[in-house]
Every structure is written in C-alpha cells, then in structure tokens.
Amino acid sequence: MQIQAEIAAIRSQIDALQQERATLTINDVVMCEDSSPLAIAEAYRHHARETVQMSTEIKGIDDAIAALKAELEKKQAQLKPFSFVQQQLSTQEQLESAKNVAKVHAERINQLAGEPMYWQVYYKPFITGFKTISVPHVRSDSEVWTIVNRIV
C-alpha cells in the first residue's frame, strides 16, 4: 500500500513541523510602566527587527504544515475509492462463501429427504400437509436456490 505509506510519511512530517513550531517562540516586548509613546514605538520597532527571521521561519513552518495537510487530504481521498473496491471484493468473497455453505446445507437436506428411514423411524416428516406427507427438496440453477415439497 504505497498510498498508506505516503500518508504515514506526511503525518510524521506534519508532527515534526508542529514540534519544531512549538519550540520557536517570539518573546513579548518588555516595557516599563512609565514608558513614553515614543519609547514604546521604538521598543516595538527594535523587537520587530530582531525577530524578523524568527517570524519568517514560523510563517514558513505554518505554510508547510498547511500544504502538507492539503496533500494529506488528497491522499486520503485517493485511498477512499481503493478501500471501497477492497470492501466490494470482501463482500463478493462473503457472498461466495455463503453460497458454498448454502450448497452444503442443500445437499444435506436432499440427502435426508432421500432417506425415507428418517421420517419412518421418527414418525416426523419434514413437512406435513393434511392429505399428503412431503419432504423438502432443494433445487438450484447455480444462481437461484429453490426449496420444493416432494411428496413421499
């Protein structure tokens, strides 16, 4: 599953970038309470000059995370039709398995119906009617299974 491996690689890269992003922090501007408006403006300008590279790096990491998340969504969308096909195959396999089980049961019913000893010994036919005694018989055209009453 190449797509699943790519999804795992994208997720691990996103995790690594998020951890790196968490370590990069920009300290707040430290101000005195009695600073003048000119001193406040100058402190923020100085802080901006010192943190330009850090801000740019953080912005780059955020952009990379956003791009990787978009790529992750694309890969997951590619994986959905594949998993639907796999699910259909497993449904087809389940259907074939159920057909085989039904065939075994049908053969056993036909075998028991062919043995009059069963209902003569136990005095219980499989299906009773008011005027006749009948046993089930299973017929199949390999697609449709039909149970009919065979009069004994």
Per-residue pLDDT at 12: 93
pLDDT tens digits for the chain (152 residues)?
A: 688 888 899 999 999 999 888 887 766 776 777 778 888 888 888 877 878 888 888 888 999 999 999 999 998 888 777 666 667 777 778 888 888 888 888 888 777 766 666 555 555 555 554 456 566 677 777 777 777 766 65
Q: How far is CA 49 from the centre of its chain?
A: 49
The length of the chain is 152
Per-residue pLDDT at 42: 85
Domain limits, the chain? 2-99, 114-152
Per-residue pLDDT at 130: 47
Give the separation between CA 5 and CA 12, rounded to whole angstroms: 11
Among 141, 144, 142, 123, which Cα is nearest to 133's? Answer: 123
Give the separation between CA 149 and CA 128, rounded to whole angstroms: 10
Among 3, 14, 19, which Cα is nearest to 63's? Answer: 14
How does DSSP assign 71-122, residue by residue? Answer: HHHHHHHHHHHHHHHHHHHHHHHHHHHHHHHHHHHHHHHHHHHT-HHHHHHH
Give the separation between CA 106 and CA 111, rounded to whole angstroms: 8
Per-residue pLDDT at 115: 67
